[in-house]
Structure 1
């Protein structure tokens, strides 16, 4: 009788399954269909007669039906034996549009079923699952939130056509470490441990989760097979290169988003400074006039206030523009873009670059 053993690779070699390329290779391919079915049943809490038994992978592009349509590419889209559509999306970073984007994806999948002459009664329920490496809902500590169409007062369901799941990986990891989850009985927890063991954004691998996964895999055939598929994916040179390329793109885009937010904040500070100076100028002039009348030196006070404030404005704006330019230079932003954002001249920016190279 053969003894089941789990192959081992260095922990740092495992790919982060929350990176969409790795996620699709793991859950979105025909050869791993059994893994996908088990994962979906765990999320939807379906067992016995209600379980998902068979799925078909569907095309992932939506849009371009009209000239101005937005093109959307889904992570995973399947149709079950009951003709239910299930879309699973993985999000490593928060792009601040999750709610609207989720509803948009749901609506496109739901309406894509409708054909000319087809009755509305034939439209089948559509389920969307969002697995997020960030928190969206401050109102709850639960890591798994489910939304459907309910009456506000009686709480009865209008229809089952809409079902949206959000899984918060940060809250899951927190609860796992707080020993609030029994992964030996909680089926979904086993799969989320696979997704949560590696956190590439934090440059962290949770060894404690690995050890429990290893023990679970020796008792769970589905998890055992999934673990070996994960190791194969992590060891494939082609997949690992594609994974690293995709990861770099995701992190670069996240950095650009942070830069945009920072620049917007700086611009807000500049506008606030301008408003403050304008108000101060007005108050200073009013007080200067009043005092000048009293002392008989109105003209001198007016000139002094105007010159002092003008010099302060120029010095403050110049300093703020220079600080923003230096931060953008560190991000390798091109000089023309920096000049446009800061209103410094190209020559001034080149001088700054030369001083700090």
Structure 2
């Protein structure tokens, strides 16, 4: 194989796969299902008979059963051939709520399995995979941490025969540092290859790690799934429709991150007179809501569908319809 065959467009044109929109185009698309299966097996380190062989993509929304329920838009949600549920979340910036949000998502997924006439014994294992572009565990050097339900003193699992809870945190920033230190071997670990793919482009800083590309170029000579992923990556990075959606989503994420920091600073000042906690919460929430409203209005004017806006902004259908009604001209 020609080494240059895996790249047909300039590297700087490739989407940052840590942006949730791009990640879902790659791993949450029916036509790329094989790539999704290989990636999940790599993260969960499944081999032989235990491997995931087939997945079914499920609806992304959890909650919303009643009018005032909080509704969540998941990045990727699949059901395996064994009936296990797996949710994959990608997070570019740190909103300092990842742990609680993860537990909420896991609980909603686990609860959603139960239907009328079904016994609790029929509930299937539920797995959450979080890929974070920031540090979650400062005192832990591992880039991949997995959590289960354990007893405090004996460390025995609550359900060793079928562990219903499994939560993964993968920290891309730690991973990149370890790779540059020469402590990771992509020939021996398939997950390293996929994380190199995710880490190669830094959309926030408009940077591409050429050293990572060269490593992937070598690996792709023997790994057909990696080559297929590169083909898909280039394809989604060239479509005018996906380029617009990707750029809009990246801008929104970075603007929200900036507002979050600005909200903290304003909250600190406000907190001097009104209480630190209350000021922080108000500053962050007000900035976030206003930006979401403005972005939805812009996307509606571009005639984007409600479903597309749900994916880009992370709001529920009902919230988008309310903004749509507010923006209509008055008689």
Structure 1-normalised TM-score? 0.74
Distance apart, 1:74 and its partner CA = 0.3
The match for 1:51 is: 51
> Over aligned residue pairs, what C-alpha RMSD do you find?
1.8
Deviation at 1:67, TM superposition (A): 2.1
Residue of structure 1 in register with 2:103 after alignment: 103
1:84 counterpart = 2:84: yes
Instruction: Quote how far apart the aligned CAs of 1:179 are.
Output: 0.4
Q: Kindly report which structure 2 residues correspond to 1:342-353, keeping only aligned pairs within 5 A, or say none.
A: none
Q: Give a deviation string over 1:264-316, Cα, whole Å, max 9, x none.
A: 122345689xxxxxxxxxxxxxxxxxxxxxxxxxxxxxxxxxxxxxxxxxxxx
Structure exhibiting the larger radius of gyration computed from Cα positions: 1
Q: Matches of residues 158-173 of structure 1 in structure 2 within 5 Å?
A: 158-159=158-159, 160-173=163-176
Aligned length: 273
Matched, 1:241 2:244: yes
- State the partner residue of 2:267: 264
1:203-238 CA distance string (max 9 Å, x none): 221000011101111111110111111111111111
Q: Distance in 2 between matches of 1:216 and 1:83?
A: 33
Quote the Cα distance in structure 2 between the aligned partners of 1:235 and 1:185. Answer: 32
3-state secondary structure, aligned to 2:117: coil
1:252 offset after TM fit, Å?
Answer: 1.1
* Structural mapping, 1:1-357, within 5 Å: 5-159=5-159, 160-268=163-271
Which structure would you say has the larger RCO, counting Cα contacts within 8 Å and 6 or more residues apart? Answer: 2
Specify the SS of the correspondent of 2:237.
helix
- Residues in 1 aligned to 2:108 and 2:217: alpha-carbon distance in whole angstroms: 40
CA distance in 1, matches of 2:2, 2:24: 31
CA distance in 2, matches of 1:69, 1:212: 47
> Residue deviations 1:79-102, cap 9 Å, x none?
001100000000001111111100
SS at match of 2:164: strand
Structure 2 SS opposite 1:229:
helix
Offset at 1:251?
Answer: 1.0
SS of alignment partner, residue 235 of structure 1: coil
Q: For 1:87, what is the secondary structure of its paired residue?
A: strand
TM-score (norm 2): 0.80
What per-residue deviation string (whole Å, max 9, x for no partner) do you get for residues 122-167 of structure 1? Answer: 0000000000000010121000000000111111110201000000
Distance of 2:24 and 2:18 partners within structure 1: 10
Counterpart secondary structure, 1:116:
coil
Deviates more, 1:60-69 or 1:104-113: 60-69
Aligned to 2:303: none
Secondary structure of 2:15's aligned partner = coil
**1:72 offset after TM fit, Å?**
0.5
SS of aligned partner of 1:158? coil
Q: Return 5+ residue gaps in structure 2 as ranges.
A: 276-286, 292-331
CA distance in 2, matches of 1:268, 1:112: 40
Distance in 2 (alpha carbons) for counterparts of 1:122 and 1:240? 43
CA deviations on 1:23-70 (whole Å, 9 max, x unpaired) are 000000100000000000000000110100000000111111122210
- Cα distance in structure 2, aligned partners of 1:158 and 1:7: 48
Following the alignment from structure 1 to structure 2, what is the Cα–Cα distance between the partners of residues 270 and 11?
50
